[in-house]
């Protein structure tokens, strides 16, 4: 998997531009877990954050120095850079409920 920036949401046409969600997904090569995580993330974002999110996929195999910055240990790790505070979600994001709680999209029960 290449490092790429996936932009979604046709920026500008939005009601709450201040609430742009900046998400980073750290992976290490195209492992099944990484692919699962990416597709899960995309789905969750489309469902809940349509038009106001941005996903950055960072492959540590290509840019290992990046792991230090966000204190990445586990792969895959999803980091919510914005809105503050920073949140980290590890795992393949298959547990949608927990991802939503982790991203603060839904208050924990």
Stretch in the footprint of other proteins (CB under 8 A) among 2-10, 11-19, 48-56, 81-89: 81-89
Residue 41 to residue 62: CA distance in whole angstroms: 21
Determine if 84 is a binding residue for other proteins (CB under 8 A).
no
User: Would you say 80 and 48 are in contact if contact means Cβ atoms under 8 Å apart?
Assistant: no
Determine if 25 is a binding residue for other proteins (CB under 8 A).
no
Taking the least distance from each CB to other proteins, the nearer of 23 and 92 is 92
User: Would you say 77 and 26 are in contact if contact means Cβ atoms under 8 Å apart?
Assistant: yes
Contacts of 7 (CB under 8 A, 6+ apart): 54
Residue of 21, 26, 38, 53 interacting with other proteins (CB under 8 A): 26
Between CA 51 and CA 59, with CA 54 as vertex, the angle to 5 degrees is: 150
Determine if 17 is a binding residue for other proteins (CB under 8 A).
no
Q: Which residues bind other proteins (CB under 8 A)?
A: 26, 28, 31, 33, 36-37, 40, 60-61, 64-65, 67-68, 71-77, 86-95, 98-99, 101-102
């Amino acid at each position: 998997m290449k490092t790429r920036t996936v932009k979604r949401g046709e920026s500008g046409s939005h009601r709450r531009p201040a609430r742009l969600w900046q998400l980073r997904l750290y992976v290490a090569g195209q492992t099944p877990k990484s692919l699962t995580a990416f597709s899960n993330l995309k789905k969750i974002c489309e469902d809940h954050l349509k038009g106001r999110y941005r996903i950055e996929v960072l492959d540590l195999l290509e840019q290992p120095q990046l792991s230090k910055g966000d204190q990445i240990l586990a792969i895959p790790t999803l980091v919510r850079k914005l809105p503050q505070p920073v949140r980290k979600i590890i795992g393949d994001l298959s547990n949608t409920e927990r991802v939503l709680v982790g991203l603060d999209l839904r208050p924990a029960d």
